[in-house]
Amino acid sequence: MLEVWLSYTSVLAAARSSTEGNNPHDSILGRVGAVASGVGFVCITSAKDEMMEYVTLGKTGLRVSVAGLGCGGNSRLGLGRGKTEAEAIALVRQALDMGLNLLDTAAAYGTEALIGKAIKPVPRDRVVITTKALINRGSTPIPPVRVVESLERSLRQLDTDYIDVLQLHVVPPAMYDHAFQTIAPVLLREKEKGKFRALGITETSPNDHEQRMLQRAVHDAVWDVVMLGFNMMHHNARTKIFPHTIAYNIGTLLMFVVRNIFSQPGRLTAKMQELAATGQVPQWLADTDNPLGFLLHEGGASSVTDAAYRFVRHEPGVHVTLFGTSEPEHLRANIASLLKPPLPEADRQQLAALFGHLLGVGLELPDPTTA
């Protein structure tokens, strides 16, 4: 991809003149890789694609796309759906061609080597790699030497000299002291050797609905990045986490944004019926087959999943929204949603009124029957 750094106004002028009498797909809009604007960077990869948006990932200083490609889950870039390694690599490269530059993997995902192959033709400083190491097996802590060995394996698998963000993976509240007091000091010595650039920690969303682990972690300066669950029916981070990540300039990576509840209408209907039966939501939400239909209107969302991505993307304190996929069409649709404007304020207020008190909704582990 040819990348030329220009002012926002000059690139628009060049784009207008370049399309006169020519195929627009051959214009500068199809060739310019990145544009500097007053609020950050946007990337134009094709006349048919949206302009990617970028933010600074908190105190890491890393410039990252607002859309991040999750390389785990049941899909594992399609490997879990019967796709070939070549197809998975092509998917990653398509995401990079669309301006997405953050790839989130983990030692436990089994996709690090694939990511290493996918990014081989790309200048290393043009892609942000986040990976993870486990620090416990159930109630048994993993000693620091084994965590360092995991880091070393990740470097070999990814075939890279350094990792941008190393995260401690799915840390439950009971393991936070082990993470902070025992593992972090050892890893910071590895950071000094240049093996990674920033240290992060991820919650175990399905088992920590109140985000008790992160409520402690956000007050400890050792963490540069946190990964957490947040979605249209699980707003806990709005008051418990984001005010602190903003105050301490901690980068945020979002997960559990869509999952099964917002991508499968039957799941959403069943959940509304369950919540209404216990008085947690109004009965009218259980009496319809389309309980979030109020979001779908002129000037609003085009689908429930579109609403889900737009809801989290523009939440104060959010940097990167992660999603997984095995299909190019799904990739394009998710990125398109994340680049749309916020939901109308009236819709956001209604979501807060209806669901702001809920905990843990939509934090189920991935369904192995879905992509």
| Per-residue model confidence as pLDDT tens digits over 239-288 | 999 999 999 999 999 999 998 899 888 999 999 999 999 999 999 999 99
Assess contact for 24 and 30: CB atoms under 8 A: yes
Q: What are the tens digits of pLDDT across the range 175-222?
A: 999 999 999 999 999 999 999 999 999 999 999 999 999 999 999 999
Q: For residues 65, 325, 108 and 241, what is the CA-based torsion angle, rounded to 10 degrees?
A: 50
Average pLDDT, the chain: 88
Asked if residue 151 has pLDDT above 60, the reply is yes
300 φ/ψ angles, rounded to the nearest 5 degrees: -105, -150
SS3 231: strand
Residues with a known catalytic role: 109
Which residues, other chains included, contact 189 with Cβ-Cβ below 8 Å and sequence gap of 6+?
Answer: none
| pLDDT score at 134 | 98
Burial of residue 360 (CB within 10 Å: 0-12, 13-18, 19+) is middle
CA pair distance 91, 98, nearest whole angstrom = 11
| pLDDT score at 260 | 87
Q: What are the tens digits of pLDDT across the range 310-359?
A: 999 999 999 999 999 999 999 999 999 999 999 999 999 999 999 999 99
| pLDDT score at 365 | 77
The two three-digit tokens of residue 100, written as one number: 């997405």
Asked if residue 6 has pLDDT above 60, the reply is no
Asked if residue 16 has pLDDT above 70, the reply is no
DSSP states along 136-201: EETTEEPPHHHHHHHHHHHHHHHT-S-EEEEEEEEE-GGGHHIIIIIIHHHHHHHHHTTSEEEEEE
- For residues 13-28, one letter each, b for 16 or more C-beta atoms within 10 angstroms of the residue's C-beta and e for the rest, the string is ebbeebbeeeeeeebb
The two three-digit tokens of residue 310, written as one number: 């737009």
| pLDDT score at 368 | 55
Report the percentage of the chain scoring pLDDT > 90. Answer: 82
Q: What are the tens digits of pLDDT across the range 287-316?
A: 999 999 999 999 999 999 999 999 999 999
Structural domains in the chain, CATH included, are 1-48 (no CATH), 49-355 (3.20.20.100)
Rg (CA), the chain: 21
Averaged pLDDT for residues 51-75: 97
Q: What does the DSSP 8-state code read for residue 112?
A: H
